[in-house]
Amino acid sequence: MISTRAVKINGGLEETEQWHKALPYRMTVPVEGVRPTVLSEELAAELDEHLAFHRVFRNIYGFELKGDRIIRLEKELEGLPS
């Protein structure tokens, strides 16, 4: 959803391998005359942590997962607005 908005309103995504990491932080900055701030800095940081967790999960296929971190991240997701 955020990447779709960035393409339509911001004119595209960064053309780097790290575009997915930079995108939430780009959306914390209003673009004068185009759009207001889309995400708070706090939410962008939370999304970054979840993205990091996703990369670990995808790369190790669950063999080294820490249960307490999974539970904490799940509870944080439940608290986010839908």
| pLDDT per position as a tens digit, 21-70 | 778 888 888 988 888 888 899 999 988 888 887 777 677 765 566 788 88
- DSSP symbol at 19: H
pLDDT at position 40: 93
Q: Tell me the sheet residues that pair with 31.
A: 35
Tokens of 25: 């932080």
| pLDDT per position as a tens digit, 2-21 | 566 555 556 565 566 667 67
pLDDT at position 69: 83
pLDDT at position 11: 59
DSSP notation for 39-64: S-HHHHHHHHHHHHHHHHHHHHTTTT
What radius of gyration do the chain's Cα atoms show? 15
- Rounded Cα distance between 7 and 11, Å, is 5
Number of compact structural domains in the chain: 1
pLDDT at position 35: 83
pLDDT at position 21: 75
**Domain containing residue 67:** 2-78
